[in-house]
Amino acid sequence: MSFYRKKELPIAITAFCAILAIFAFYFKVPEAKSASTTVQTWMLVMVNFAVVVGFVMVIKMHKRRIDKRRPGDKSWLFSAWLIVVLIGYVLLGIYGVESTRTAAPTNDWTFNWVYNNGVVALDSAMYSLLAFFIASASFRAFKARTKEAGVLLISGAITMLYNAPAGSAIFGPLAQNFNDLGDWILNVPNMAGFRGIMIGAAVGAISLGIRVLTGRERGYLGAGE
């Protein structure tokens, strides 16, 4: 296989770009800084092309569902609806960009209306479904089966009362003491636990970065030679 088709060249490019970014930060060399900023600005353009991959993959997947439809099965209609809405909204966005002569398609009233009443509604509703599952899990699944689970539940219960605007009011004259307890849990054990996790995660991120730079981690380049 030719050299430029193998993974070694992209790995070398990855390492070069990373070293350029790190060098430009630590060493105050104006040319390196300018080169690094230029590469970063170009990257902002390049990353936007990645959405094309997602766009084509979704259309291919749903087109396959439509092609494989069986008699009596109506689920292919939803795939057809998805493709129509997807292409339609993209075309509306392109129209919005060209008609307003700005980079933001939401400057067009129609595109913005669909965003506010479609995207916002659906995003909010889909994520808030978890509220129901948390409520049912609290009743059915979160049982203090072990001492550790008990500590977790007590800490969670105190935090919930602490977060509820009127939660501490049930303690009457001891409300301020309860708030102090909630503050303590947040600022001492919670903070210590998450700080330890954060330091560990930073070590992991740095070691992953070194693995990518040295070519030991190649998963991001996809399958093949």
Q: Please pick, from the candidates 64, 73, 121, 174, the single residue that binds another protein as defined by CB under 8 A.
A: 121
Neighbours of 68 (CB within 10 A): 10
Crossing angle, helix 30-46 and helix 8-26, to 10 degrees?
130
Please report how close the Cβ of residue 70 comes to another protein at its closest, in angstroms. Answer: 14
Q: Which of residues 98-117 bind another protein (CB under 8 A)?
A: 100-107, 111-117
Please report how close the Cβ of residue 157 comes to another protein at its closest, in angstroms. Answer: 6
Q: Does 157 bind another protein (CB under 8 A)?
A: yes
User: Total residues contacting another protein (rule CB under 8 A)?
Assistant: 152
At position 107, the amino acid (one-letter code) is N
Contact present, 76 and 65 (Cβ < 8 Å): yes
Q: Which of residues 129-148 bind another protein (CB under 8 A)?
A: 129-132, 134-136, 138-140, 142-145, 148
Q: Which of residues 36-95 bind another protein (CB under 8 A)?
A: 36-56, 58, 75, 78-79, 81-90, 92-94
Contact present, 159 and 185 (Cβ < 8 Å): yes
- b/e per residue 129-164 (b: at least 16 CB within 10 A): eeeeeeeeeeeeeeeeeeeeeeeeeeeeebeebbee
Q: Does 120 bind another protein (CB under 8 A)?
A: yes
In the chain the beta strands, taken as DSSP E runs, fall at: none
Please report how close the Cβ of residue 68 comes to another protein at its closest, in angstroms. Answer: 17
Q: Which of residues 16-35 bind another protein (CB under 8 A)?
A: 16-22, 25-26, 33
Q: Which of residues 166-185 bind another protein (CB under 8 A)?
A: 166-169, 175, 179, 183-185
101 Ramachandran zone, left/alpha/beta (phi>0; psi -120 to 50): left
Q: Please pick, from the candidates 29, 64, 73, 202, the single residue that binds another protein as defined by CB under 8 A.
A: 202
CA distance 152 to 21: 42
Please report how close the Cβ of residue 91 comes to another protein at its closest, in angstroms. Answer: 9
